[in-house]
């Protein structure tokens, strides 16, 4: 683990072999590599260019950060040395401090505005290196500044995965999902039972509502994509409607998960906290995919949110599933079992009927429910209408789904 420090020291000593009286454009870097604070300050007073890079791409600040020389780092930062310059291998001062475990230097660089998202040539960030090496104080400082523990380089591991490899329990514990109190759940109404389905990757609660008790069950799922929150409001209005007029249940049962992806909703992103599209993370017809907007995860059901949804569907075996998305304005269905109900819903909400969304959806919830479990499912792609008009538009089609499921 400490081989990186030894290598850095050897590189520094190679500079010490230069003639004692040598002068030139690398003087400042050489003085920094030698840890000669007095010489560095003298050169700066003489007008030396503080951000000059040597043959390796090292600046004086990179040398100082790599070797953990805090007084020298502070002096260079006081002279406005740039924290974003990288050496030939892509290492910024922050990356070197993280890799070498220099927590005090790392903290000083963060205070000076060093970029958290900088990555060296292999794609690893400062947090990745600190987690991999098991440097507790460095990881704490980076997480406190908002470093993303779930971001990963192409084909590489995320910081939380690297932490587990470090074998340092205290570091691993920093990446454990927090237990977030469930007070964020909607207020309980007498006729609606709220319970906890489970927690997201970042520990946010995923509540589920149960209303009614009958032979058929309609399951509503909202916000499986964090940047498509319309379903949450529709579900809230439908529950209020049914609570006020329980006869509309027609002796049936409603299950509703208003926000299936609370981490994605919190950061307004399609994917969850790990950047995985939950609607591509189910086993049925799952396929490896590149990271990006529709990344299906490293393997099927890699995400806690998709595991919770699949377990719920398998346990409850609903008569019909309606999953909310935006904003293609259509009633999309998977499998012939949902064709009739999707057609009738389309007549009521005015959105077009689409048996095929027009592009591949490997590992989608629709594929899983229809072809993997034989359960009818309609993906209701709503528009961007204001909440009240949107609910008015889809209300009757949802009531139909409640009565006609099965």
pLDDT tens digit sequence for 87-142: 999 999 999 999 999 999 999 999 999 998 899 999 999 999 999 999 999 999 99
pLDDT, position 246: 84
- Is pLDDT at 1 greater than 50 in this prediction? no
DSSP category for residue 186: P
pLDDT, position 405: 53
Residues 33-56 have pLDDT tens digits of 999 999 999 999 999 999 999 999
Q: Cα–Cα distance between 87 and 52 in angstroms, integer?
A: 11
Alpha-carbon Rg for the chain, nearest whole angstrom, is 28
User: Would you give the distance in Å from CA 292 to the centre of its chain?
Assistant: 11
- Is pLDDT at 341 greater than 90 in this prediction? yes
If one looks up domain 3-174 in CATH, what number appears? Answer: 1.25.40.20
Measured torsion, CA atoms of residues 300, 301, 302, 307, in degrees rounded to the nearest 10: 180
> In 3D, which of 151, 279, 149, 263 has the Cα closest to residue 198?
263
Here the tokens at position 217 are 């069950």
pLDDT, position 184: 43
- Is pLDDT at 148 greater than 90 in this prediction? no
pLDDT, position 143: 84
pLDDT, position 348: 95
3-class secondary structure, 322? strand
Residues 257-306 have pLDDT tens digits of 999 999 999 999 999 999 999 999 999 999 999 889 999 999 999 999 99
CB-CB contact of 61 with 79 (8 Å): no
Q: Bridge partners of 208?
A: 195
Listed in order, the ranges of the chain carrying CATH 3.40.630.10 are 184-404
Here the tokens at position 258 are 């208003």
Q: Cα–Cα distance between 278 and 264 in angstroms, integer?
A: 10
Residue whose pair of structure tokens reads 């990356």 in the numeric block: 95
20 pLDDT band, cuts 50/70/90, is: very low
User: How many CB atoms lie under 10 A from the CB of residue 60?
Assistant: 32
Quickly list DSSP for 4-45.
HHHHHHHHHHHHHTS-TT--STTHHHHHHHTT-HHHHHHHHH
- Is pLDDT at 5 greater than 80 in this prediction? no
Here the tokens at position 235 are 């579900």
- Is pLDDT at 22 greater than 60 in this prediction? no
Residues 160-212 have pLDDT tens digits of 788 888 888 888 888 775 544 444 444 444 478 999 999 999 889 999 999 98
Here the tokens at position 361 are 């959806």
Q: Cα–Cα distance between 372 and 253 in angstroms, integer?
A: 23
pLDDT, position 177: 59
Half-sphere exposure of 326 (CA within 13 A, CB side): 18
Listed in order, the ranges of the chain carrying CATH 1.25.40.20 are 3-174
Here the tokens at position 332 are 């999309």
- Starting at the earlier edge strand, list the strands of the sheet with 205-211: 192-199, 205-211, 253-257, 217-221, 320-326, 377-382, 330-334, 352-354
pLDDT, position 404: 67
> In 3D, which of 382, 405, 384, 406 has the Cα closest to residue 395?
382
Residues 294-339 have pLDDT tens digits of 999 999 999 999 999 999 999 999 999 999 999 899 999 988 889 9
What fold, for 184-404?
Aminopeptidase (3.40.630)
pLDDT, position 335: 83
pLDDT, position 174: 81
Residue whose pair of structure tokens reads 């660089």 in the numeric block: 109
């Amino acid at each position: 683990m400490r081989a990186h420090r030894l290598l850095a020291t050897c590189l520094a000593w190679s500079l010490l072999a230069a003639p004692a009286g040598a002068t030139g454009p690398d003087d400042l870097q050489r003085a920094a590599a030698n840890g000669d604070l007095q010489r560095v300050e003298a050169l700066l007073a003489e007008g030396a260019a503080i951000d000059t890079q040597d043959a390796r791409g090292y600046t004086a600040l990179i040398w100082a950060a790599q070797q953990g020389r805090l007084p020298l780092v502070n002096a260079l930062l006081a002279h406005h040395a740039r924290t974003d310059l990288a050496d030939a291998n892509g290492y910024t001062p922050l990356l070197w401090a993280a890799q070498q475990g220099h927590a005090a230097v790392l903290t000083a660089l963060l205070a000076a505005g060093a970029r958290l998202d900088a990555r060296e040539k292999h794609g690893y960030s400062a947090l990745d290196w600190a987690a991999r090496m098991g440097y507790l104080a460095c990881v704490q400082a980076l997480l406190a500044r908002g470093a993303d523990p779930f971001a990963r380089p192409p084909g590489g591991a995320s910081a939380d995965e690297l932490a587990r490899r470090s074998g340092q329990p205290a570091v691993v514990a920093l990446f454990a999902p927090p237990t977030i109190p469930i007070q964020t759940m909607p207020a309980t109404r007498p006729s609606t039972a709220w319970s906890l389905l489970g927690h997201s990757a970042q520990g946010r609660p995923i509540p589920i509502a149960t209303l009614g008790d009958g032979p058929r069950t309609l399951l509503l799922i909202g916000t499986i994509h964090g940047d498509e929150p319309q379903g949450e409001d529709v579900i809230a209005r439908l529950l209020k409607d049914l609570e006020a007029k329980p006869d509309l249940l027609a002796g049936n049962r409603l299950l509703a998960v208003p926000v299936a992806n609370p981490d994605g909703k919190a950061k307004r992103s399609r994917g969850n906290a790990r950047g995985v599209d939950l609607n591509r993370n189910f086993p049925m017809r799952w396929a490896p995919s590149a990271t990006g907007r529709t990344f299906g995860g490293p393997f099927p059901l890699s995400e806690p949110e998709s595991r919770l949804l699949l377990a719920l569907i398998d346990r409850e075996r609903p008569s019909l599933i309606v999953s909310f998305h935006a904003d293609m304005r259509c009633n999309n269905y998977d499998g012939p079992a949902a064709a009739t109900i999707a057609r009738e819903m389309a007549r009521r909400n005015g959105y077009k009927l689409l048996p095929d969304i027009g592009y591949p959806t490997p590992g989608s919830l629709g594929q899983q429910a229809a072809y993997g479990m034989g359960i009818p499912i309609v993906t209701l792609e709503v528009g961007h209408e204001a909440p009240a008009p949107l609910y008015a538009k889809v209300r009757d089609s949802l009531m139909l789904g409640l009565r006609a499921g099965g």
